[in-house]
Amino acid sequence: MARYSAIFAVTIIFCILAGPVSSFTASDYKDAISKAILFFEGQRSGKLPVSQRVKWRGDSALIDGKIENVNLIGGYYDAGDNVKFGWPMAFSLTLLSWAAVEYPTEISSANQLLHLQRAIRWGTNFLTRAHISSTTLYTQVGDGNVDHQCWERPEDMDTPRTLYKITSNSPGSEVAAEVAAAFASASIVFKKIDSNYSTKLLRRSKSLFAFADKYRGSYQASCPFYCSYSGYQDELLWAAAWLYKAGGGNNYLNYASSNQGWSQVASEFSWDNKFAGAQTLLAKEFLNGKSNLEKFKNDADSFICALMPGSSSIQIKTTPGGLLYTRDSSNLQYVTGATMVLFMYSKVLEAAGKGGVTCGSVTFSTSNIKAFAKSQVDYILGNNPLKMSYMVGFGSKYPTQLHHRASSIPSIYNHPTRVGCNDGYSSWYNSNNPNPNTHVGAIVGGPNSGDQFVDSRSDYSHSEPTTYMNAAFVGSVAALINQGKVEQSFQMPQLNKTTLYDRQSTKNISY
């Protein structure tokens, strides 16, 4: 553990959370993860299985792909809309698989591992159908612009189910590589329980990675809703790291090593920017003796330094109540993503016997990093200035006017009369009443920079859920199950004359 380069004269302790210290228990975290996973059943598209637990949803989009004679039934609706965006969907599946790979014991203790595996498989089954050849991948079902002009249940949907795809002549390396990462990570999840399926996923992952790398080109098909800002190098590194981890071969690690110049210091981990995730996976290999991967370890350290309050190189500030605040549009997507990486990287460091990360004159122990990550989870669950949960159905106070078509219109089982495109707007969108269907587990975009939240269906930047927000939260809250030693609240590390700090610790959605 590196010593501080400066000794402060006075110890200043700053609790990052407003109000009383969180009293969430292991039981609360188990409840939260069960609801976070249940959310995905409310997002399902296609023919629902007999095991479906979200009863207000029905079968929908049963002819997806038919206009081009392909079967694109299934998968997930992206957020509060009825479009299936393959790029963020694949990212959500990679995150869910990462959680399943790293926290199987914790998730099993909450009796959620089977539900999580089903959530992953529902998505990967769709993506395998979308991957119709070595150089053809369907990437989107539904026209986002047309879809967003209607407010109707998926079960009533009559908007065009326009298809988008990438080919060797019209490439999209970001989405091809992200689907490769989803398949590789999921292959690890299913390796011991369905070896044939696992092998199939790994084979497809290799094919898609080769496609993404050989026909390099940036993916813009889902603009203006999902535009690539960070380029495709992050996805290529991310996919290569997962392929190596899945047993694809040393050539994928060599690929990452040969291209580590692509690695950039990041301050967010999101559907667009995967650098921090790739760096976390590859830093683990460096700490396991792969000395040619040091840049990934250094960049992973820099990600921690960009987030931790008290760091000399902080880039992401917090709200007065202690929430990381990257940008206003669906900010909790960045919070859940960052928190997942904070926990994952702390685990990597601890496994390698490393005590923490040094950021200039301040060293953050792994226990301190985890405590800050815990403060973010607890904020989302209700330990915040408004004392409300930003997860629907958790606690006694949570958002009730979700910006979500299916949730905001009565179920077809209670209201069988068709609700048309404009009817949904006039009768339901503009209503001030709570949504008739409680979308349990949905995490909304969250509060503004002043910790304030207006529960309004029309305020999509703050009231809309997304699959990738929930997927990152699954990995974040899983880290807290059965982790009794995590500090109750984050405290900014500073020193007095006699005390050394913890020396014993070894893009935005646009609709």
Rg value, the chain, Cα: 22
Q: Is 54 inside any structural domain?
A: yes
Share of the chain above pLDDT 70, in %: 90
Q: How many domains does the chain have?
A: 1
**16 domain-assigned:** no
Average pLDDT, the chain: 91
Question: pLDDT band at residue 494, thresholds of 50, 70 and 90?
Answer: very low
Is residue 349 within 8 Å of residue 370, measured between CB atoms?
A: no
Query: Which pLDDT score, from 0 to 100, does residue 416 have?
Result: 97
Pairwise CA distance, residues 22 & 381, whole Å? 10
Q: What pLDDT is stored for residue 23 in this prediction?
A: 79
Whether 308 maps to a domain, the answer reads: yes
- What DSSP string runs through 203-232? HHHHHHHHHHHHS-----TTTTTS--SS-S
Tokens of 448: 């503004």
Is 90 part of a structural domain of the chain? yes
Provide the whole-model pTM: 0.92
> Which range among 41-50, 134-143, 368-377, 492-501 shows the weakest confidence by mean pLDDT?
492-501
Q: pLDDT at residue 508 above 80?
A: no
Distances (CA, A) of 63 to 31, 69, 162, 208, 457: 36, 10, 11, 25, 29
- Give pLDDT, residue 484: 56
Which pLDDT tens digit goes with each residue over 384-443?
999 999 999 999 999 999 999 999 999 999 999 999 999 999 999 999 999 999 999 999
Is residue 9 domain-resident? no
Which tokens hold the place of 305?
């330094």
pLDDT for the residue numbered 483: 75
Q: Which domain CATH number covers 339?
A: 1.50.10.10
pLDDT reported for residue 491: 59
Residue 373 has a CB neighbour count (10 Å cut-off) of 28
Helical spans, DSSP H, in 233-287: 233-245, 250-258, 275-287
List beta partners, residue 14: none
* % pLDDT > 90, the chain: 88
Please state, in angstroms and rounded to a whole number, the distance separating the CA atoms of residues 64 and 421: 19
* 227-274 residue pLDDT tens: 999 999 999 999 999 999 999 999 999 999 999 999 999 999 999 999
**CA quadruple 178, 87, 326, 374: dihedral, nearest 10:** -60
Residues belonging to the active site: 403, 455, 464
Range of the domain at 292: 27-479
The pLDDT score that the predictor gives to residue 44 is 98
Distance of CA 4 to the CA centre of its chain: 34
Residue 82, classed as helix, strand or coil, is coil
Q: Is omega for the bond preceding 160 within 30 degrees of 0, making it cis?
A: no
Distance spanning both ends of the chain, measured CA to CA: 46
pLDDT at 311 over 60: yes
What's the whole-number mean pLDDT along residues 302-322?
A: 96
* Whether residue 288 has pLDDT greater than 80: yes
pLDDT digits (tens, 9 = 90+) for 437-482: 999 999 999 999 999 999 999 999 999 999 999 999 999 999 999 8
- The pLDDT of residue 482 is 87
Give the per-residue pLDDT at 496: 27
CA distance 46 to 73: 5
* 13 pLDDT above the threshold of 70: no
- Residue 14 belongs to some domain of the structure: no
pLDDT value for 16:
38
User: Is 32's pLDDT higher than 80?
Assistant: yes
Q: What residues have CB less than 8 Å from 504, skipping those under 6 apart?
A: none
Q: What is the three-class DSSP state of 70?
A: coil
Residue 499, in any domain of the structure? no
Q: Is residue 500 part of a domain?
A: no
